[in-house]
Amino acid sequence: MRPKHKAVARRRRRPLRTTPAARGRRRATQPVPPRPTHRGDSGLAPGMHPISSYLAVANVTASMEFLERAFGFSRGVVLPDVDGQLRYAEMRHGDAVVMLIRKGDDTTATSGAAALYTYVDDVDRALSKARQAGAGVDEAQDKPWGDRVAMVTDPDGYRWVLATFKKLAPFA
C-alpha cells in the first residue's frame, strides 16, 4: 500500500568549512576596551564609574571582610569616623565598585539607605528631567565629600543618588 503523501527527502546539511580562528571569532564577542573613568567635564569622580551600588550595611568592616573572602574584592577608599569605626568604604572587583555605608547614617547621601549612586554631567538638569518623568525627588545639595547630589525615587521605589563631582575634598 502506498502512503497518501509523497515522502520528502531530507537533505543533510554539511558543516561549514572554516578555520579554527574564524570559528572562534564567530562564537565570541570581542571585549570592550575599558573607557576612561574620569573626564573633567563628565561629572564623574576620579576612579569611579557612572553607576555604582551604594549598599547600607550594619557593619562596614564585617562587610568588607566578607566581600574580600567570598568574592575576591579589594579595598579602595576607606573612611573611619572620629571614634575609629568605619563609616564608608569602596570595594573594588575588576572594574566594578561597590560603596558601603553604615545603615541609618544621616551623614550619607541617602541617610543610610541603599541606592544606586549615579554620576551625571549636571545634577540639577538630571533632577529636573527625573521630576518631569514622575520621580520623587529631593533638592540637590553640595556635600562635604565634594559631590553635588540629589536623591531620586523611581516609580518602583528604588533610590538613585544623582551626583556630579565638583572637587576632591576630605571627608569630614
pLDDT interval class at 120 (50, 70, 90): very high
> Please, what's the b/e burial string for 134-164 (b: 16 or more CB within 10 A of its CB; e: otherwise)?
ebebeebeebebbbbbbbbeeeeeebbbbbb
Say yes or no to pLDDT of 6 above 90: no
The larger pLDDT score, comparing residue 61 to residue 9, is at 61
Q: What is the pLDDT of residue 4?
A: 55
pLDDT tens-digit series, residues 126-143: 999 999 999 999 999 999
Grid cell listed for 52 = 555604582
Q: What is the pTM of this model?
A: 0.66
Q: Which domains does the chain have, with CATH numbers?
A: 51-165 (3.10.180.10)
pLDDT tens-digit series, residues 102-111: 999 998 888 8
Going by C-alpha positions, the residue among 153, 154, 159, 148 that lies closest to residue 120 is 148
pLDDT tens-digit series, residues 39-49: 455 688 877 87
Mean pLDDT along residues 147-162? 92
